[in-house]
A = this chain, B = another copy of it.
Amino acid sequence: MSTYLKHDEWSIVEEGFHPEKSRDSESLFSIGNGHMGQRANFEEKYSGVTLQGHYIAGIYYPDKTRVGWWKNGYPEYFAKVINAPSWIGIDVKVDGEMLDLATCKILEFRRELNMKQSVLEREFTVAMQSGIQLHVKSTRFLSITEHELGLIRYSITPLNQSVSLEILPYIDADVENEDSNYNEKFWEKTDGSCYHHEAYITSKTKKLDFNICTGMLFDVFAGGNKLTTKAHLVEEDLLLGNKVILNANSDEEIVVYKYATVVTSLDHKVSDLMQVARKKLQDANSKGFHAILKDHINEWAQKWEHSDIVIEGDVAAQQGIRFNILQLNHTYTGKDARFNIGPKGFTGEKYGGSTYWDTEAYCLPFYMATAGEEVAKNLLVYRYNHLQRAIENAEKLGFTDGAALYPMVTMNGEECHNEWEITFEEIHRNGAIAFAINSYIRYTGHESYLADKGLEVLMGISRFWAQRITFSEAKGKYVMLGVTGPNEYENNVNNNWYTNTIACWCLEYTIEALQKVKETNIARYKEIITKTAFDDKKEVGKWQDIIKNMYYPTEEKLKIFLQQDGYMDKEQILVKDLDIKNRPLNQKWSWDRILRSCYIKQADVLQGIYFLENRFDIETIRRNYEFYESRTVHESSLSPCVHSILASKIGKTDQAYELYLRTARLDLDDYNKEVREGLHITSMAGTWLSIVEGFGGMRVVDGKVGFTPSIPQGWNAYSFRIVHRGTALRIRVTTEEVMVFNEHGPDSQIMVYGKPYTVAKNSNIVAELSK
């Protein structure tokens, strides 16, 4: 566990420079605005350890697949979020010596990610090798109002003498991905222009023809006056900039305002890109740094108003949850159904791809409750738009007649993962995609989404299950062979309880959805039936037969659902009895040893119980929780939140809190020793769930939102805000009571501990905390 950061309610703060943590800090201080994002690389040159990273939503590259042993059905490429041209660079030479925190003596250093404002600040005092002392302060943000803009204020003050400064603001298109499979570069420059205090480069990805223009425009102020002296144009092949040479007196602050833009062919005509970029920067420059920053801060205040969770009495927990909310909002704003939420967001390269089942299983509820129905719907539409590709993906694996298998990892709907036990077998992802449709409708009440788009997706998914499930003559039951469940520490197992369960749930829900659309929109129903060549009687008949005769493994003596066939043949040594030197298993044990052990990477049976909680009585939940929690090593960042929510459910608040802590500060405290690779964006949504659905006990049943709050020991109070069917509710839980306040929107019927209340607009209800 790493503890070099200060605990603070609203900021991430590094005091004193920690070069050994430089890549960690680059991840942790990342900023983003949904359109683009970047690691917290330095503006000035840094010759120490660094992972340069600047990423643009929806711009990716089909890197040639690397694989040891090719298997039929593997995709030929692996789509990667790619490192884009960088616009942050400002080289500084002081009396001819390059400013570089790796080589000069650092007298003071402070870095702060102001979470309230989403502003990255850095301030340091250094002694150059020449002895000259310098104070530098930089302020950087990616505008949330003008999402194609990034701005920097960079000030340099010589402290003990007057100096000659060479300042080179530049843009650099010579970038590469650390994780390129064959050390290939993904971009080529198509054009470049360099003017006085301006520079533009257009680049194109070598495949897929994504075009972007990266541009910068800057002003330099000395003593409050804008300098107009001619700059020297610097025009290297892939680097364009302007060198400004000036003298600065002792204690005179030299300030560079750098306006940068990234515009892409996703939003503009390729031929217009450079022109659009220039116009954008000139407009920004007219408006000015401070005015744009003000808009940015105001918009972030709004975002926090909607999504903040306040924890009183626990600064570390408060900082953790705000960091998670901030980074989720950096990654995805939900304005565009072409985008999705990558596991590392804009903070690193690992995992490639942008969309896993994480989106549906973990992220959807967060965005639905805090960012609104349209945002949530866009996440569903993303999958609807990929339906045809999911059908083609299933065809590659031998399925027919419109069966759809959504990819494990994707950018554009095509599979880009290549590990047979995951790509071909971790098919439960289909279930989460169907479940998300159900969650959305349950939460918003928008039944019409089924007719509009949802039903087609459900039918493709159910057709897949009906073909993937086979009949075992030996058992006289339907079975599902050769799958990998959510617990990836088992591969190629038979009858994973979760997968069997979610598959049959899909069949049931699709039958129900067919019926609903038929009843409410017969024209659309007929249209869908025709479009999909659906044989209602035969296909639904088969589905019903499967639902009726599906096999579910159970352990009769312990009265639990069994993760898969044969699980009880394993040596049952509980996690608590396993010598800690074996942990984490994925770093200490070979894969076969992990597979044949009883240890569970992440919620599997419990994932099913979490999704379909209303099917199970509390004792069943308790028995399964106790059995599986004692065998779960939580070596996936997606695991503890589900356990935490169920622990809250069965009244184990202490354990729920312990589990909550493992995700809330996962990256800040670098539990998994990998924050250098980037942040765990999607699991951050799980932290939000742990509070809202866990401690808050929020559930939506029959169109009503309900709460069964508990509060962890040591917290004085916590509060969160959700929007449900047009009503904004703020829930505050103290050690004594539960208060629900209706901030705006119509009166709301809610439940607290199963008891109905009406919360009128601008008023609240109070209930005693159940202990």
Contact = CB atoms under 8 A, between A and B. Distances in A.
Interface in A624-678: none
Nearest to A396: B590
A89 interface: no
A434 to B, nearest CB: 20
Contact of A73 (B72, B421, B475, B590): B590
Interface in A567-616: 568-572, 586-593, 595-596
A182, A491, A569: most-surrounded residue (chain B CB, <10 A): A569
A677 to B, nearest CB: 14
Contact of A397 (B68, B397, B470, B593): B593
Interface in A392-429: 396-398, 418-421, 424-425
Contacts of A421: 492
A419 B419 CA distance: 10
A458 to B, nearest CB: 23
Contact of A492 (B65, B471, B492): B492
Contacts of A418: 68-69
B481 A570 contact: yes
A482 B592 contact: yes
B572 A473 contact: yes
Contacts of A568: 472-474
A483 to B, nearest CB: 8
How many subunits of this chain does the assembly comprise? 2
Contacts of A69: 418-419
A68 B566 contact: no
Contacts of A470: 570-571, 596
A424 B566 CA distance: 20
B71 A68 contact: no
B419 A72 contact: no
Contacts of A473: 568, 572
Contacts of A68: 65-68, 418-419
Contacts of A167: none
A566 B590 CA distance: 25
Given A68-B419, A424-B590, A569 B481 contact: yes
A628 to B, nearest CB: 17
A494 interface: yes
B72 A566 contact: no
A420 B592 contact: yes
B569 A472 contact: yes
A565 interface: yes
A479 interface: yes
Interface in A61-107: 65-69, 71-73
Nearest to A566: B494
A474 B569 contact: yes
Nearest to A555: B474
Contacts of A492: 421, 491-492, 595
Contacts of A424: 590-593
A133 to B, nearest CB: 46
Interface string A151-191: 00000000000000000000000000000001000000000
B481 A591 contact: no
B592 A425 contact: yes
A359 to B, nearest CB: 21
Contacts of A472: 568-570
A589 B421 CA distance: 15
A69 B69 CA distance: 11
A491 B425 CA distance: 12
Given A566-B565, A569-B472, A72 B591 contact: yes
A222 B475 CA distance: 82
A397 B471 contact: no
Contacts of A65: 68
Contacts of A589: 72-73, 398
A71 B565 contact: no
Contacts of A482: 592, 595-596
Contacts of A475: 569
A398 B568 CA distance: 22
Interface in A48-70: 65-69
A630 to B, nearest CB: 16
A762 B667 CA distance: 84
Contact of A587 (B72, B474, B565, B569): B72
A481 B596 contact: yes
A397 B589 CA distance: 7
A586 B471 contact: no
A499 to B, nearest CB: 13
A591 to B, nearest CB: 4
Contacts of A182: 182
Contacts of A491: 491-492
Contacts of A481: 566, 569-570, 596
Interface string A172-214: 0000000000100000000000000000000000000000000
Contacts of A66: 66-68
B397 A592 contact: yes
Nearest to A479: B569
A67 B69 CA distance: 8
A576 to B, nearest CB: 18
B566 A397 contact: no
Contacts of A592: 73, 397, 420, 424-425, 482
Contacts of A566: 481, 494, 565-566
A125 to B, nearest CB: 43
A71 B572 contact: no
A492 B397 CA distance: 20
A752 to B, nearest CB: 44
A718 B474 CA distance: 46
A114 to B, nearest CB: 38
A592 B399 CA distance: 12
Nearest to A418: B68
Contacts of A588: 72
Contacts of A67: 66-68
A491 B587 CA distance: 23
Nearest to A471: B571
Contacts of A591: 71-73, 420, 424
Contact of A72 (B397, B479, B494, B586): B586
A590 B398 contact: yes
Contacts of A419: 68-69
Contacts of A72: 586-591
Interface in A420-475: 420-421, 424-425, 470-475
14 contacts: A66-B67, A67-B67, A67-B68, A72-B588, A398-B589, A398-B590, A420-B591, A424-B591, A482-B596, A492-B492, A492-B595, A494-B569, A565-B565, A565-B566
Q: 9 closest A-B pairs (Cβ-Cβ)? A: A73-B590, A424-B592, A482-B596, A474-B568, A472-B569, A481-B596, A67-B68, A420-B591, A71-B591
Given A68-B419, A72-B588, 11 more contacts: A66-B68, A67-B68, A397-B592, A398-B590, A398-B593, A420-B592, A424-B590, A425-B592, A470-B596, A475-B569, A492-B492
